[in-house]
Amino acid sequence: MAPVMYTDLAVFSNAFDSPADLPVVQLVGPDLASLTKREAARQIERWQTQALTQALFNSWQVSNGYQLEQKLMTEISHLDFQIDRPRLFHRMLASGEPAVLRELARNDSSSAPWIRRALSRAPEVEDLLYEPTWRLLDPTPMSHIEWHLAAETMQRLAMSVLERREKFAAWVVELPIDQEGREALEYFIPRSHGSSRWGLLLTLLQLRRWEVHGNLIAYYLQLLEVIERCIVPVPDPDFAFMLPALKDYLTACFSRIHVGPTHPGNVEYQLARLMRARKAFIVVRGDLASGEPSVIRSNGAGSLPTVFDIGTAGES
């Protein structure tokens, strides 16, 4: 009799902030202590604040908070720059404090008027606060509708930005994962040769897509790709502020999963698939200094004849 196939089931869920008595599988990296909802939310607020501040520097054509505050105060004649400057924007970029959305929501905030003044000459920067990047980084479960709204909002813009800025490549992955070679998984991973917040956004979209669909092996491979993006010697300025904490954050928030007992035997079956995928793939780190990206390759283990076709999708 042919073996029962469980691969169409939603076979796993993120173990973030879930009951401690449920069994947890660690997909990647060390078993880091899971963050609480509050800790994850605060980290996202810090990144949001740093991203907004860097975008303000770019828009105002300044390189630091001192220069931005100098420009902000040129038209305020009754204030003395050395005494009255807020000393705010350097702190926002360096530490992500104070959290920009919290400050803008407060009626008694001394920082909010300065932030609004900076945004008044760069209104397009405010859109950054509401882009789906921050929801994609939030590990609480997403619905299918929520994921599609995020993708429709940002994917076209992200692709156009990447195609203008850097060489752009794609992985088309064909993965026979069943022991008899009958289950074929084929999917597309957008991959830029450089590293940027836009490249991170596209890989996070894919990661959350596989989570929404419950596709365990695709999620595992995409998680490897997302974490590889954290290992770059010279990141883009709009991405650099995230790197000190990003790898551990992704590992703590997205690498711990529950495999659901949605069918008799499903847990054992999915864990066996995951074990074989772990043995079959390795990350080969590229020479990032020369623009060569890291790739996931088959190491010839097991019975997984795997084809990776890495083709150029666009070039600037």
Range of the domain at 279: 12-30+165-314
Residue type, 227: I
Distance, C-alpha 186 to centroid of its chain: 22
Within a 10 A sphere around the Cβ of 151, how many other Cβ atoms? 18
Distance CA(274)–CA(269), nearest Å, equals 9
Residue 252 lies in a domain: yes
Within a 10 A sphere around the Cβ of 305, how many other Cβ atoms? 12
State the alpha helices, DSSP H only, in the chain: 37-60, 65-72, 81-84, 89-95, 100-105, 112-120, 133-137, 144-165, 197-213, 216-228, 237-240, 243-254, 266-280
Four-CA torsion 142, 144, 150, 156, nearest 10 degrees:
140
pLDDT digits (tens), the chain, 316 positions: 444 555 555 578 888 877 666 677 888 877 666 778 899 999 999 999 999 999 999 999 999 999 999 999 887 878 787 888 899 999 999 999 999 999 999 999 999 999 999 999 898 898 888 888 899 999 998 888 998 888 877 766 666 665 665 554 444 444 444 555 444 444 444 444 455 677 777 778 888 988 988 888 878 888 887 887 777 666 666 677 788 788 889 988 999 888 876 666 777 777 777 777 776 665 555 555 555 555 555 544 333 333 332 222 222 2
Element (H, E) at 107: none
Residue 75 lies in a domain: no
- The domain tally of the chain equals 1
Residue 102 lies in a domain: no
Cis peptide before 176 (omega within 30 of 0): no
Residue type, 101: L
Q: Tell me which residue of 24, 93, 20 sits closest to 54, measured CA to CA.
A: 93
Residue 229 lies in a domain: yes
Q: How many residues does the chain have?
A: 316
Q: Tell me which residue of 240, 58, 78, 212 sits closest to 139, measured CA to CA.
A: 212
> pTM for this one?
0.77
Residue 17 lies in a domain: yes
Q: Two tokens at 89?
A: 């924007």
Residue 224 lies in a domain: yes
Owner of token pair 């026979």: 176
